[in-house]
Amino acid sequence: MQTVFSIGVDALAYGMVLFVISIGLSVTMGLMRVVNLAHGAFAMIGGYIASYAARDLGLAYAVAVMLAVAGTILIAIPIERLLYRRIYGQPELTQVLMTIGITFCIIGIANYVFGPTLKTIPTPETLREPVSLGFRTVSSHRLFVIACGAAVALGLWYFIERTAFGVKLRAAVDNAAMAAALGVRTQVVYAVSFAVAVGLAAFGGVVGAELLPIEPYYALRYMVTFLVVVSVGGAGSIPGALAACLLLGAIDTTGRYLMPEFGEFFFYLAVIAIVWLFPRGLAGRAK
């Protein structure tokens, strides 16, 4: 029984890390219909900014997180205006080629500027202590990540489903021409959504850095994981992405605990099974 609880805690924590990091990609792919392979690169930029702010400038963790999100969005704005705007509505292959190109450029620049070594983001003392849950200890950072995941899920759901902007966004996604005819400034809507997605990527990169450390190849190393989460959850669906992350986190953690020598076998087996049963993901909508 203790083992079950113990696996449960780890699974929840790992699932939430996956969620925080991948949800931005779900937004770009599902709502904006852009296959953004540079998502990991934006997460990495966030991580580097936070690492620089907290480690080299000695700023507080919370300030570093905010700087990372704001800084990444600032860097992303010209990229959106000059590059992404051209690929909205283009065939997927064009989008893939361009975004993977952006990824390689960012990897090269990161390697040149920050060097190939790992960068850590120092966490405050309170997030470093192991916390006892009675039957086991867990790092307080994990609890923090779980809370962040829950907050992001709720906030984003409210933003898309309950605000006037969310209505415009959904309208622009479903029929851009009609939305524009009705007075929705689709370019602004897209720009803001892109900024939100990039901000989420940066936020995920920073809070997930304890599990997925920041280094130049971050952008490529975890790309498959992000894409798997989005395709299993169904692009654009927040509950879908949450369910996918928790499910995949649970399967991966259980497999790793009970039969580590099978590697990621169970993880990908589950992915195959889910995509076979739900070709559009757990909560995907028909096009």
Partner 1 sequence: MKKLAIAALAAALMGGVAHADTIKVGVVGPFSGPFGLQGKNFKAGIDAYMALNGNTVGDDTIEIIYRDIPTADPAQSKALSQELVVKEGVQYLAGFYFTPDAMAATPLLEQANVPMVVMNAATSAIVTKSPYVVRTSFTTWQTSTPIAKVAFDGGTKKVISVVSDYGPGVDAEAAFKTGFEAAGGQVVEAIRIPLQTNDFSPIMQRIKDSGAEGVFAFLPSGPTTLGFVKAFNENGLKEGIKFFAPGDLTQESDLPALGDAALGLTTTFHYAVSHDSAENKTFVEAAAKAIGNPAELSFPAVGAYDGMHVIYKMIEATGGDQDAAKAVEAVKGLSWESPRGPVTIDAESRHITQNIYLREVAKADDGTYFNKEIQTFEKQGDPGLKAAK
Contact call for residue 141 and partner 1 (CB under 8 A) = yes
Contact residue for partner 1 among 82, 117, 272, 287 (CB under 8 A)? 117
Q: Do 26 and 236 form a contact (C-beta atoms < 8 A)?
A: yes
229, 244 contact by CB (below 8 A): yes
- Compute the least distance from the CB of residue 38 to partner 1, in Å: 18
- The residue within the footprint of partner 1, chosen from 118, 178, 269, 273 (CB under 8 A), is 118
The answer to whether 6 touches 248, Cβ cutoff 8 Å, is no
Nearer to partner 1 by Cβ, of 2 and 287: the residue is 2
CB nearer partner 1, residue 8 or residue 89: 8
Cα dist from 171 to 31, 167, 203, 285, whole Å: 10, 6, 27, 15
Looking at 68, 106, 253, 271, which residue binds partner 1 (CB under 8 A)?
Answer: 253
- String marking each residue 155-194 x if it binds partner 1 according to CB under 8 A: ----------------------------------------
Helix (H) or strand (E) holding 138: strand 137-139
Contact status: 260 vs partner 1 (CB under 8 A): yes
Instruction: Name the helix (H) or strand (E) containing 170.
Output: helix 164-174
- In DSSP terms, 119 is beta-bridged to 214
Q: Which residue of 75, 213, 268, 275 would you call a contact of partner 1, by CB under 8 A? A: 213
- Which tokens hold the place of 277? 């049963």
How far apart CA 136 and CA 3 sit, in angstroms, is 10
**Of 67 and 210, which has the nearer Cβ to partner 1?**
210
What's the closest the beta carbon of residue 208 comes to partner 1, in angstroms? 9
Between CA 99 and CA 101 the distance in angstroms is 5
Q: How many C-beta atoms lie closer than 10 Å to residue 154's C-beta?
A: 11
- What's the farthest any 2 CA atoms get from each other in the chain? 60
Of residues 119, 172, 190, 227, which one binds partner 1 by CB under 8 A?
A: 119
CA dihedral 248, 252, 254, 255 (to 10 degrees): 140
SS3 132: strand
Encoded one letter per residue, x for contact with partner 1 by CB under 8 A and - for no contact, window 121-140 reads -x-----x-x-----xxxx-
Segment lying near partner 1 (by CB under 8 A), choices 1-9, 23-31, 199-207, 268-276:
1-9
Q: How many residues does the chain have?
A: 287
Token readout for 255 is 């497999």
Q: Smallest distance, Å, CB 254 to partner 1?
A: 8
* Binding flags for partner 1, 67-106, as an x/- string (CB under 8 A): ----------------------------------------
Binding residue count for partner 1, defined by CB under 8 A: 42
SS (H, E, C) 80-97: HHHHHHHHCCCCHHHHHH
Q: Which residues bind partner 1 (CB under 8 A)?
A: 3, 6-7, 10, 13-14, 17, 111, 115-120, 122, 128, 130, 136-139, 141-142, 210-213, 215-217, 221-222, 225, 252-254, 256-257, 260-261, 263-264
